[in-house]
Amino acid sequence: MSGNLRRIAGRTRRGLMRQLSQHRLLWHTRRLHGPGRVTLGDDEVMLVLLARDVEWFLPTFLDHHFRLGVRHVLIIDNGSRDATLEICAGHDRVTVLRNLLPAQRHESALRSTLAQSVASGGWLLFADADELIELPVTRPDALRQLAAYCNQHGKTAVIGQMLDRFSTRPYHEIRDLDYPRSVREMRYYSLGQLESVAYDDPVIHDLFAGFIRDNQCEDPGVRLFWGGIESEAFGIRPLRSCHSMVRNLPTLTPMAHPHFASRVAVADVTLLIHHYKMAGDWIERERSSQRRALWSHGETARRLAAVGESEDSFRFSPVRAERWAGVETLLEQGVLYASPRFRRIMSMQE
């Protein structure tokens, strides 16, 4: 068999396996609340959340993103036993699908397949419950304007840059705060061990080639980041960038990997993901996650090991704690990026 025929056969086999996997996911999915199908305009956005027991975060999460401008929210519930479903039931613009397949094995497929089974057209915005999205444009219609800009210029994905927020107070003083108060208290971030690489850096392609080899990123100002406060505090080096917003087209895989979409053209602008993982009683949440073996990676164990026996007195103390001062500061610091063309067009439309 020639090389071309082998490649065609390989693509055909992978395509069939994908279809079988999608059918299996849909077979194990049940709709609990909201419309089963949502038709989005070209510049409208549906938010997608894979969740389990997120009642502590959920009211703030929903309120924030509805204010941001999302048209609809899809929650893929992976077996919540708290009040997550009751909170969702109070919102007409929320659809809840329940799927109990192990999230650690099916995370990306659950998000991609179920999002595209509900949304027709428009854009998909992916976020976790402890994340709040912010745009580099501050105006009421910014989300739709961003989608329209990408549509006009043939871009099908927007990179999100995750910023870990924290408080400098000791743990025992903040663990009992509710989520809204935690967000207000977590005023700081750190760039001390935040490293950046080009989108087409060989290291990135060695690690994620199967997911991003068919992607296009033409603007070198768009970078990928590793590390941050978790490197300083816990000695781990997580990837802090992902394809957060993806156009809902059948030719794309919106979440081929927890951080990457496939076959996309990356926009010349990035958005911000405020990450509040260390909010409230986060150490107990980490212990609960470890006990229930919800995820297979070792990051939870390394965080708990770094805390050790000093739980009450534990605090974040980076070399330099930056106080939050708005997205414009992050644009100046190079964490966020907006091309001259994007800035010019957005200013013309104000």
Which amino acid is located at 164 in the chain?
Answer: D
Tens-place pLDDT, residues 115-156:
999 999 999 999 999 999 999 988 889 999 999 999 999 999
Residue 350 has which token pair?
């104000």
CA-atom Rg of the chain in angstroms: 20
Give me the helices (H) in the chain, please.
3-27, 58-68, 84-88, 103-118, 142-152, 171-174, 179-185, 202-212, 229-234, 282-292, 299-307, 327-333, 340-348
Confidence of residue 104 (pLDDT cuts 50, 70, 90): confident
Which of 69, 75, 124 lies closest to 252 in space, CA to CA? 124
Percentage of the chain lying above the pLDDT 90 cut: 81
pTM of structure: 0.93
Q: Give the pLDDT of residue 215.
A: 96
Which of 325, 200, 197, 343 lies closest to 269 in space, CA to CA? 343
Q: Give the pLDDT of residue 296.
A: 57
Contact 284, 199 (CB under 8 A): no
Three-state DSSP state, 270: strand
Taking residues 312-335, what's their average pLDDT? 95
Residue 238 has which token pair?
């997580």
Which residue reads 């409230």 in tokens?
280
Using alpha carbons, list the distances in angstroms from residue 124 to 10, 45, 52, 114: 29, 6, 20, 11
Q: How far does Cα 248 stand from its chain's mean position?
A: 16
Helix count and strand count (H, E) for the chain: 13, 17
Q: How far does Cα 240 stand from its chain's mean position?
A: 10
- Which residues face 270 on adjacent strands? 159
Which of 30, 93, 103, 98 lies closest to 62 in space, CA to CA? 93
Please enumerate in sequence order all residues whose Cβ is within 8 A of that of 94, keeping only pairs 6 or more positions apart, or say none. 33, 34, 62, 72, 73, 74, 75, 88
Does residue 277 register a pLDDT over 60?
yes
**Nearest 10 degrees: Cα torsion 194, 167, 54, 144:** -60
Secondary structure letter of residue 338 according to DSSP: B
**β-pairing, 266-275 with 157-164?**
parallel
Contact 306, 234 (CB under 8 A): yes
Contact 304, 286 (CB under 8 A): yes
Q: Give the pLDDT of residue 290.
A: 82
Tens-place pLDDT, residues 295-322:
656 788 899 999 988 889 999 999 999 9
Q: Give the pLDDT of residue 172.
A: 95
Average per-residue pLDDT in the chain? Answer: 92
Does residue 8 register a pLDDT over 60?
no
Q: Where are the domains of the chain?
A: 1-129, 130-350
